[in-house]
Amino acid sequence: MKLFFVLNPVAGKGKSIELMSIIKRICEKENVEYMIKLTPRVGGAEDTARWGIENNYKRIIAVGGDGTVNEVVNGIVGSKTVLGVVPAGSGNDFVRSIGDPKEPEQYILDTIHGKVKTIDLGMCNDRYFINMASIGLDTQVAIRTQKTKKYFSGSLAYLVSALLTIFSYKGWDLNIQIDDQAFHAKTLLTAIANGKFYGGGVLPAPDAKLDDGYFDICHVKHMSKEKMFRVLPKYMKGKHRDIKEVQLVKGKEILITSDNPFPLNLDGEVSITNKAHFKLIEKGIDIIVP
């Protein structure tokens, strides 16, 4: 077995760099051939993963946060390469859907001894995502969280960012089609979930499963700022299904458009667009699980 570790050196305020010696120690103890390659820049994990494929590595391990995982996914999709994850970011939301939190040593051992499982994959326009996509308030929060996570960790960074964002948020007028159901709505947020969590443990889609052949979509209509403050704690804990403005549905294809460009979040990576076309790719990627 050959393992190729794609390591983002700036993930988790340098946490990933601290894992290098642990990776080396465990791989050598387990008598496993391995290589660690640091990503040279933002966005470089995708190209680094492709290099691993070209050099015949069959297990490529993302060492970093959800953004690093997303880049590696986009680098290996369509190949027969298996994805592994050693979380070293600030949120690490994808791994929450594949097992209980554990020590770094165990994540590394899982890349060697874990089972291979085939799961679904999401595609939006020309990019893949493995965990979560979103539009609206939470995407604005994701942008702000890039700053607040320097001072707070996990869901606390998300909460602080959300509270700051709510004061200025005005909502988006979106045209939304979920499979054969179309509607127009002033929208607070829309989350398209393959995994359960985002934002450092926030739970928009409590019933989401990585291998059920469906996205779980959480659409929240616009509401007053006063109600936003009351709903936010429930949303973070996945206790929002009974709120009047919340719609939780399953679907395989979603089209969202607007006359005005909106921010789009794919696994924590944000871009600006006025059209987001989501497709579920059933059994789209192989991953290592405990």
- Which pair of structure tokens corresponds to residue 197? 């969590």
Phi, psi torsion values for 270, nearest 5 degrees: -110, 135
pLDDT of residue 146: 76
CATH class of 129-282: mainly beta
pLDDT of residue 242: 96
Q: 143, 171, 138, 135: which is closest to 278 by C-alpha?
A: 135
Pairing of strands 127-129, 115-124: antiparallel
Position of tokens 């985002």? 198
CB atoms within 10 A of CB 263: 17
d(CA 234, CA 211): 26
Who contacts 206 (Cβ-Cβ below 8 Å, separation ≥6)?
Answer: 196, 238, 241
d(CA 215, CA 213): 7
- Which pair of structure tokens corresponds to residue 32? 């496993």
Amino acid at 181: Q
Per-residue pLDDT of the chain (290 residues; tens, 9 = 90+): 899 999 999 887 778 898 999 999 999 999 999 999 999 877 799 999 999 999 999 999 999 999 999 999 999 999 999 999 999 987 899 999 998 878 989 999 999 999 999 999 999 999 999 999 999 988 888 788 878 877 887 778 878 888 889 888 888 999 999 999 999 999 999 999 999 999 889 999 999 999 999 999 999 999 999 999 999 899 999 999 999 999 999 999 999 999 999 999 999 889 999 999 999 999 999 999 97
Phi, psi torsion values for 42, nearest 5 degrees: -65, 130
- Which pair of structure tokens corresponds to residue 219? 């659409």
Do residues 62 and 83 make contact, with C-beta atoms less than 8 angstroms apart?
yes
pLDDT of residue 156: 83
- Which pair of structure tokens corresponds to residue 65? 């946060």
pLDDT of residue 290: 78
The pTM score is: 0.92
Do residues 194 and 132 make contact, with C-beta atoms less than 8 angstroms apart?
yes
pLDDT of residue 99: 83
- Which pair of structure tokens corresponds to residue 271? 């871009």
CATH class of 2-113: alpha beta
pLDDT of residue 1: 84
d(CA 74, CA 47): 9
Phi-psi domain of 104 (left: phi exceeds 0; alpha: psi -120 through 50; beta: other):
alpha
Q: What residue segments make up the domains of the chain, in order of their start?
A: 2-113, 129-282
